[in-house]
Amino acid sequence: MIPADPDALAQAALGGDRRALARILTAVENRTPAAEAALRILYPKAGRAHLVGITGPPGSGKSTLVSAIIANAREAGRAVGVVAVAPSSPITGGALLGDRVRMQSYAGDSSVFIRSMAARGHAGGLAPTSTAAAAVLDACGFDLVLLETVGTGQSEVEVAAAADTTVVLEAPEMGDEVQAIKAGLLEVADIVVVNKGDRPGAQRTASQLRAMLVGSGRVGRREGSNDRPRPKEPEVLVTTATTGDGVPELMAALARHRQGRPSGADDPTRRARAAAQVWAILGDRVRAELEGGSRVATTEAVIREVAEHRLDPFGAADRLLATLRTGGQ
Amino acid sequence: MPDRPLKVLIAKPGLDGHDRGAKVLARGLRDEGFEVVYTGLRQTPEMVVTAALQEDVDVVGLSILSGAHMTLVPKVCRLLREQGIDDVLVVVGGIIPDDDVAALKEAGVAATFGPGTTIGEVAEFLRSNAKPRG
């Protein structure tokens, strides 16, 4: 049996009880009060892992690459946690979580922990609770945590905020140089990987990506000429995840990227991640306040006024915020 | 959240390569609103139990058409118990002779589903019998 009490559950998970860890992840996913209590204990222990986001189009080989990364990391003696997100049906709420099919070989290795998550209606490529799940794995001593997104299109860039290092996969012949300079997913890549490197055109695709992405932060700009945000300049690598070719080079690139980052709270990515989590929870809490208890009638009345076009949505939001400030009924 | 989706592992232990049934059921349960973890072919009992543990599923569904169910299913049930996983519903689908059903239930299986079972019947059984996680 595993403890039902969240504090005991968190202590058990920290002590290496994988079943307790799994149960905490369930609580996190279901956003129960037990998850909050467990995170209060676990969060201060997190912050040591390298969080690596793996994203790219459906079928580009994300799960297979994750499996190859696990193999390499295990050879180096590192413990690896994986959060693999798959889409939820917008119709039924159901989901088919199939990423484990490609990540089979680690049964009995307690230093590998793979967890599938359904996106549950969330649209940015991750599940709403993926960041918290990654923090739980981090706290429990997994020093490499991989966040695999749903198969993404051009603009599901959420993973870049959730991860320290973002790897964007491309398959060979998926587009020309114009695809490479469109805004969106490729812009958030710290490392671009052309997977399926044994297919024809892989090297050409990599060359095209390099030509269009490398140096992009400097084109037409003098040093210090302005301080507008600059695009990243990702390394472009070629891997064949099924054979492991190119994966050691990817591991080296991950390590280089991590070493180049400021540590802890000096890392703007980490600060942005902290802010995003706090704002999301704050938004949920404000909504819960307004929809709960004595305020629900006022809230519904104000929303009704908006539906009747007697009040605009901005005015409604201001009025509801004012009820929070006064603690009014 | 009381109406969160039930999480079901669909696994094929053993060496038979007939995964059509498992895939059809995985997809059908998805359409019934379940979150289905599908692990693919040729799982050892250890792999099945590892997946059940890490995914913290409510249901373990085993699909076996090889005739090896009297070896594989009790082993999966035993390993689940050894890991302390005593609150998961284990069901088996495939070609299971009537004579074996009692022994499988003795080993810890809640139900067996043979040819002709509809997806709706499976879904209904799981909804009525699985104990959702807190």
Residue count of chain B: 134
Ranges of H-type helices in A94-224: 130-139, 159-162, 177-180, 202-213
Q: Identify whether A135 is part of a domain.
A: yes
Mean pLDDT of the residues in chain A: 89
Looking at the complex, report in whole angstroms how far the Cα of residue A272 sits from the nearest Cα belonging to chain B. 29
Do residue A93 and residue A241 come from a single domain? yes
Instruction: Determine contact: B134 vs chain A, CB below 8 A.
Output: yes
The percent of residues in chain A predicted with pLDDT above 70, rounded, is 93
Residues of B in contact with A4 (CB under 8 A): 134
CA-nearest of A208, A243, A198, A186 to A56 is A186
Q: Å from A276 to nearest chain B CA?
A: 23
Report CA torsion sign: A88, A143, A6, A43: negative
- Tell me: do A193 and A163 sit in the same domain: yes
Architecture of the domain made up of B7-129: 3-Layer(aba) Sandwich (3.40)
Residue A63: inside a domain: yes
* Residue A151 falls inside a structural domain: yes
| Residue A128 scores a pLDDT above 50 | yes
Number of neighbours of residue B34 by Cβ within 10 angstroms = 28
Query: Chain A contacts of B51, Cβ < 8 Å?
Result: 100, 107, 114
The burial class, CB within 10 Å (0-12 / 13-18 / 19+), for A111 is: middle
Domain membership flag for residue A233: yes
Answer whether residue A267 is part of any domain.
no
Q: Which residue has the tokens 């005015």?
A: A315
In a domain? residue A88: yes
pTM metric for this prediction? 0.90
Interface residues of A toward B, Cβ cutoff 8 Å, are 1-2, 4, 18-19, 22-23, 25-27, 30-32, 34, 88-89, 92-98, 100-101, 104, 106-108, 113-116, 118
The answer to whether residue B64 scores a pLDDT higher than 90 is yes
Residue A325 pLDDT: 84
**B128/A contact by beta carbon, under 8 A:** no
Map out the domains of chain B as residue ranges: 7-129
Specify whether A151 is located in the same domain as A287: no
C-alpha distance across the termini of chain B, in Å? 8
Q: Do residues A67 and A123 both lie within one domain?
A: yes
Question: Residue A5 is part of which domain span?
Answer: 1-43
In sequence order, what are the residues at sequence separation of 6 or more whose Cβ sits closer than 8 angstroms to the Cβ of residue A90? A121
**Looking at CA atoms only, how far is residue A325 from chain B in angstroms?**
29
CATH code of the domain in which A96 resides? 3.40.50.300
Whether residue A88 and residue B35 make contact (CB cut-off 8 A), yes or no, is yes
CB-closest option in A34, A107, A116 to B46? A107
> Is residue A98 domain-resident?
yes
ipTM of the complex: 0.93
Q: Which of A101, A119, A110 is nearest to B9 (CA)?
A: A101
| Residue B26 touches chain A, beta carbons under 8 Å | yes
Residues A20 and A149 in one domain: no
Q: Which residue has the tokens 């404000």?
A: A286
Please give the residue of chain B at the shortest CA–CA distance from A107.
B47
> Cβ distance A195 to A169 under 8 Å?
yes
Residue B5 and residue A101: Cβ atoms within 8 Å? no
For residues A59 and A26, membership in a common domain is answered with no
Lowest mean pLDDT across A92-96, A213-217, B86-90: A213-217
Q: Is residue A266 part of a domain?
A: no
d(Cα A280, Cα A129) in Å, to the nearest integer? 10
B2 — pLDDT class (breaks 50, 70, 90): very low
Q: Is the pLDDT of residue A177 over 80?
A: no
pLDDT given at position B1? 35
Structure tokens at A272: 């942005």
Q: Where are the beta strands (DSSP E) in A45-125?
A: 50-55, 80-86, 95-97, 112-118
Q: How far is C-alpha A246 from the geometric centre of its chain's CA atoms?
A: 24
Q: How many domains does chain A have?
A: 3
Q: Does B83 touch chain A (CB under 8 A)?
A: yes
pLDDT at residue A234 tops 50? yes
Strand order in the sheet with A95-97: A95-97, B35-38, B7-11, B59-64, B89-94, B111-113
- Whether A213 and A245 map to the same domain: the answer is yes
Question: Do A281 and A251 have their domain in common?
Answer: no
A190 and A153 in one domain?
yes
Cβ of A22 within 8 Å of Cβ of B53? The answer is yes
The pLDDT tens digits of the residues spanning A142-159 come to 999 999 999 887 777 888
- 């190859």: which residue's tokens? A68
Domain shared by A290 and A234, yes or no: no
Residue B40 has what pLDDT?
A: 87
